[in-house]
Amino acid sequence: LLRRGLRGNFVPPIRSNGGSTGNVANSRNSGRGDDLLEDSTRRCMEMLCGSDGELPEKLRNLEPRLIEHISNEIMDKDPNVRWDDIAGLEHAKKCVTEMVVWPLLRPDLFRGCRSPGRGLLLFGPPGTGKTMVGKAIAGESKATFFYISASSLTSKWIGEGEKLVRALFGVASCRQPAVIFVDEIDSLLSQRKSDGEHESSRRLKTQFLIEMEGFDSGNEQILLIGATNRPQELDEAARRRLTKRLYIPLPSSDARAWIIQNLLDKDGLFKLGKEDIASICKLTDGYSGSDMKNLVKDASMGPLREAMRKGCEITKLRKEDMRVVNVQDFEDALQEVRPSVSPNELDTYEDWNKQFGSLS
Question: Least CB distance from residue 134 to ligand ADP, whole Å?
Answer: 8
330 three-class SS: helix
Segment contacting ligand ADP (CB under 6 A): 6-14, 85-93, 186-194, 272-280? Answer: 85-93
Question: Least CB distance from residue 148 to ligand ADP, whole Å?
Answer: 13
Residue whose CB is less far from ligand ADP, 142 or 297: 297
Pattern 235-254, ligand ADP, x by CB under 6 A: ----------------x---
Is 62 near ligand ADP (CB under 6 A)? no
Rounded to whole angstroms, how far apart are CA atoms 225 and 197? 24
Q: What is the CA angle 156-160-163, rounded to 5?
A: 130
With contact defined as beta carbons under 8 Å apart, do 280 and 242 qualify? Answer: no
- Beginning with the edge strand found earlier in the chain, give each strand of the sheet holding 119-123 in spatial order: 75-76, 144-149, 178-183, 222-228, 119-123, 244-247
Is 227 near ligand ADP (CB under 6 A)? yes
Considering only residues 301 through 340, tell me which ones interact with ligand ADP, judged by CB under 6 A. none
Residue whose CB is less far from ligand ADP, 104 or 255: 255
Residue whose CB is less far from ligand ADP, 203 or 293: 293
Is 89 near ligand ADP (CB under 6 A)? yes
Considering only residues 95 through 154, tell me which ones interact with ligand ADP, judged by CB under 6 A. 126-132
From 293, 327, 339, 345, residue interacting with ligand ADP (rule: CB under 6 A): 293
Residues 6+ apart with CB under 8 A from 77: 144, 145
Element (H, E) at 7: helix 2-9
Question: Least CB distance from residue 100 to ligand ADP, whole Å?
Answer: 17
Helical H runs in 288-342? Answer: 289-300, 302-309, 327-336
What one-character-per-residue DSSP string does 169-182 give? HHHHHHS-SEEEEE
